[in-house]
Amino acid sequence: MKRLFVLLLLFLASVAAHAAVERAAVTAKLAALQQGSKLPGFAVAVVSAKEVLYQHGFGQADLEARRPYTEDTLQNVGSVSKTVIGVAIVKAIELGYFGLDTEINSILPFKVQHPHGGGAITVRHLVTHTSSIVDDEEIYGHSYYLLSAADKTSPLYGQFKRDFTQPGRADLSLGGFLKGYLAVGARDYRKTNFAKAAPGAAYHYSNIGSALAAYLVELKSGQSFDAFTRRHIFEPLNMRATSWRAEPAQAKRQAQVYNRRHQAYPRYALVTYPDGGLTTSAADLARFLMAMVKGYKGGEGVLTKAGFTLLFDPQFALEALPAGSPAGEPNSGVFWRIRSNGQVGHTGSDPGITAFMFIDPASGTGRLLMTNTEFSGAGEEDDSNIVEQFRDVWKALGEVR
């Protein structure tokens, strides 16, 4: 018996040593990819349902200050934020606030009506991007605002202010923006804010529809979406550095974000913050992703088993997909997109950032990648070199098991 125990210890030590060698090889490969790329810095993580298998940062969080990008560096992750809206929606359903087929007008303090003769919009329509609400870039594209810490000497300060903000915007509230965009007669209301297809009939990716879903949680819970997610998601998962905008107290951990020419953007935030403003680190996001992998595999935690099933299960039969569903990710859970290769998660982009986060059912793992640059700027085509370099990093990360 004692001999068997010793052999088992030796075997486990051998496995651990082999894993360490594999991790070192991955680190060397990722470091080489960063050095040969236009990515200023990035952080990655791979998780199972039980543990973080790998996490690391590479390159620079701040090129001028030569500050390294680590797994604890903070930046916003764009539309990866929508995965948090999905969890919040399901938590709200578990708390009895509403169901997927609840009509949004039964919750909202203003009326949203499809102007082209369609029926009522439901929560299900919002979480699957089939609400018919579309993003008018003249309005949504200017829904950012500059933070007090924004560097006015930045070469992109004036351009950002012109291209992404609305001068004189006094109301930065989520509800105020949504009412102004969706309520008949409001300042930014237009019939073209809605697609002609009836709610439920066609896929139209909608940041504003996503923010509206978060606002429903806010209304029914009686607290801000920020406070709701902190209480029900971030605190239980020990995501202590995660917030919905850059916090002044965390300035030394915040990444500087860059356009593809490595010019720094000024610090900014989003009026419709739930759709893309999640500010987090790879270490914090790995905790979230680990909980999601566990839930995907039948576990529970921030949601019940039934809640996780609702979060991830396809909302549409393959023979009844909404018109216009993207070929690469034709189906949807509750904001979690389901790719044609079976992976479940979300991508994200905003000025100066790109992020991917997906669960791979085949391997039972999840992986994430966040970088402080963009594929393209406003009105530009994607830089094919940066896209390919990002994909190379993502592919190398897939070697971790």
pTM equals 0.94
Instruction: Answer yes or no: is 6 within a domain.
Output: no
Instruction: Answer yes or no: is 287 within a domain.
Output: yes
Instruction: Answer yes or no: is 235 within a domain.
Output: yes
Q: Looking at residue 112, which CATH number applies to its domain?
A: 3.40.710.10
One-letter-per-residue 3-state SS of the chain: CHHHHHHHHHHHHHHHHHHHHHHHHHHHHHHHHHHCCCCCEEEEEEECCCCEEEEEEEEEEECCCCEECCCCCEEECHHHHHHHHHHHHHHHHHCCCCCCCCEHHHCCCCCCCCCCCCCCCEHHHHHCCCCCECCCCCCHHHCEEECCCCCCCCCCHHHHHHHHECCCCCCCCHHHHHHHHHCCCCCCCCHHHECCCCCCCECCCCHHHHHHHHHHHHHHHCCCHHHHHHHHHHCCCCCCCCECCCCHHHHHHECCCECCCCCECCCEEECCHHHCCCEECHHHHHHHHHHHHHHHCCCCCCCCHHHHHHHHCCCCCHHHCCECCCCCCCEECCCCEECCCCCEEEEEEECCEEEEEEEECCCCEEEEEEECECCCCCCCCCCHHHHHHHHHHHHHHCCCC
Which of 5-9, 17-21, 284-288 is the least confident region?
5-9
353-387 pLDDT tens trace? 999 999 999 999 999 999 999 999 888 899 999 99
Residue 59, pLDDT above cutoff 50: yes
Residue 400, pLDDT above cutoff 70: yes
Mean pLDDT of the chain: 94
Instruction: Answer yes or no: is 268 within a domain.
Output: yes
Instruction: Answer yes or no: is 5 within a domain.
Output: no
Domain limits at 323? 38-397
Which of 70-74, 104-108, 167-171, 201-205 is the least confident region?
167-171
Instruction: Answer yes or no: is 382 within a domain.
Output: yes
- Looking at residue 9, what is its pLDDT? 42
Instruction: Answer yes or no: is 359 within a domain.
Output: yes
- Looking at residue 93, what is its pLDDT? 98
96-120 pLDDT tens trace? 999 999 999 999 999 999 999 889 9
Instruction: Answer yes or no: is 24 within a domain.
Output: no
- Looking at residue 3, what is its pLDDT? 58
pLDDT band at 168 (very low <50, low <70, confident <90, very high): confident
pLDDT band at 15 (very low <50, low <70, confident <90, very high): very low
Number of domains in the chain: 1
